[in-house]
Amino acid sequence: MTDNKEKIRLDKWLWAARFFKTRALAKAAIEGGKVHVDGQRCKVSKTAELGARLNIRQGFDQKEVLITALSDQRRGAPEARLLYEETPESIKQRMDESERRRIMKASMQVPDHKPNKKERRDMRRFEHNQDY
């Protein structure tokens, strides 16, 4: 962990906190609007500040975390968890969404086999004849 006086870029902090596997992925997420600082879109070069509230969207999950420590070195997961604290509301919302997705997946019908050549040909023919 570094001193509070050091300035650390947001993309580097996200990488060190293990939200993204590479800094390039962290940069792409910030540029794509998947990371907000205190409710505002930000740039890659924004400095990470103690107490800042980050909204991070990763796949289906939306995490809201508070920065509790700064670091520019990527370390093990237990040490990376010390850099931030996820809000209880965020944890509850992620668990609820995960449960909802699990229930939806269980209710979907899954075909019992992969379509063979004739079935694929019939599906293409059906789709082609459905043009309006």
Phi and psi at residue 131, to the nearest 5°: -60, 135
Are 53 and 66 within 8 A, CB to CB?
yes
Residue 72 tokens read as 């520019």
Q: Given strand 61-67, what is the order of strands in its sheet?
A: 40-41, 35-37, 53-58, 61-67, 84-86
Spell out the residues 6+ positions from residue 34 whose beta carbon is closer than 8 angstroms to its own. Answer: 56, 57, 58
Per-residue pLDDT of the chain (132 residues; tens, 9 = 90+): 555 567 899 999 999 999 999 999 999 999 999 999 999 999 999 999 999 999 999 999 999 999 999 999 999 999 999 999 999 999 999 999 999 999 999 888 888 999 999 999 999 999 888 765
Alpha-carbon distance of 66 to 30, in angstroms, equals: 17
**Would the pTM count as exceeding 0.85?**
no
Alpha-carbon distance of 65 to 60, in angstroms, equals: 16
Are 38 and 63 within 8 A, CB to CB?
no
Residue 119 tokens read as 């079935």
